[in-house]
Amino acid sequence: MNKNHPSTEPQSNDWYTERFISEGSSIGLQLTQTLHKEQSAFQSIEIYETSHFGNLLVLDGCIMLTEKDNFIYHEMMAHPALFSHPSPSQVAIIGGGDCGTLKEVLKHKDVEKVVQVEIDQRVTELCQRFFPQLCESNNDPRAEFYFGDGIQWVEGTPNNSLDLLIIDSTDPVGPAEGLFSQGFYQACFEALKPGGVLVLQSESPFYHSHTIIKDMKLKLKACGFENSITRLFPQPVYPSGWWSCTASYKSAPQGSNEHAMKRAKTFATDYYNAEIHFASQAQPEFMR
């Protein structure tokens, strides 16, 4: 997952091991089969079948997701922000080509339109083939697919036109580097309506609290976002096994209280619920 820490090819025929060199650690998954390998116009794409985690997607040597644990990340990228907006109607996802976040967003009846802006069409095509359960809402008439650079797309979006903007990106290198820049956050701020919310995948609280997450929050504040909440959750196949997303609010969050949220959540989830919504906001001492 983390391109700051170059990974290796599988060390034997049986395991995929991603090494995080600067942290002196790694994550390994036992493989049963190679399903697909290609070099797209943007990145290397590998898909494996694993013994215990279902199918595995790897981009440029970084683990992106497995069938077994992706629900935690995708639910946390979508639901806390959607439930803290009073009427999220116009949504855009930048990146997110596996379509898992899109599927979660579409569970919300208030959402009238979601545009997914993915730079690499091959990621989406291959996920439709190898991760069909993530793509099961792709034919929802509210979903629109645009294949191109998310930075240019946001810059070209009319001011005050989106309720929610989700940045479901790879790590801050290559085509995703600009998705972590202050210029991009400013373009997101302008594209959001008053009361709009920007959600960013914000890497590992254990490894990146004092680097990527701190830097991100300073930049978001400088762009005018009123406040930012970093939510923490487990993610077994990402570096440290612990991940985060950061929601930035153009004005103070107005969403549901716990009871209202329980009533509003009319659909099934496997991780997210009203208690997780609040518990995930708690910050450990080393992050304060």
Q: Return residues touching ligand SAM (CB under 6 A).
A: 1, 42, 59, 64-65, 73, 94-98, 117-120, 123, 149-151, 168-170, 175-176, 179, 201
CA-nearest of 262, 246, 250 to 192 is 250
Shortest reach from residue 130's CB to ligand SAM, in Å: 12
Shortest reach from residue 48's CB to ligand SAM, in Å: 15
Q: How far is CA 88 from its chain centroid?
A: 18
Cβ proximity to ligand SAM: between 91 and 179 the closer is 179
Shortest reach from residue 284's CB to ligand SAM, in Å: 21
**Annotated catalytic residue 168:** yes
Q: What is the 3-state secondary structure (H, E, C) of 216-281?
A: HHHHHHHHCCCEEEEEEEECCCCHHHEEEEEEEECCCCCCCCHHHHHHHCCCCCCCCCHHHHHHCC
Question: What's the CA gap between 190 and 184, in Å, rounded?
Answer: 10
Is 148:178 a contact under the CB 8 Å cutoff?
A: no
Cβ proximity to ligand SAM: between 238 and 261 the closer is 238
- Centre a 10 Å sphere on the Cβ of residue 190 and count the other Cβ atoms it contains: 17
Shortest reach from residue 176's CB to ligand SAM, in Å: 4
Cβ proximity to ligand SAM: between 46 and 98 the closer is 98
The one catalytic residue in 120, 168, 171, 215 is 168
Q: Catalogue the active-site residues.
A: 168
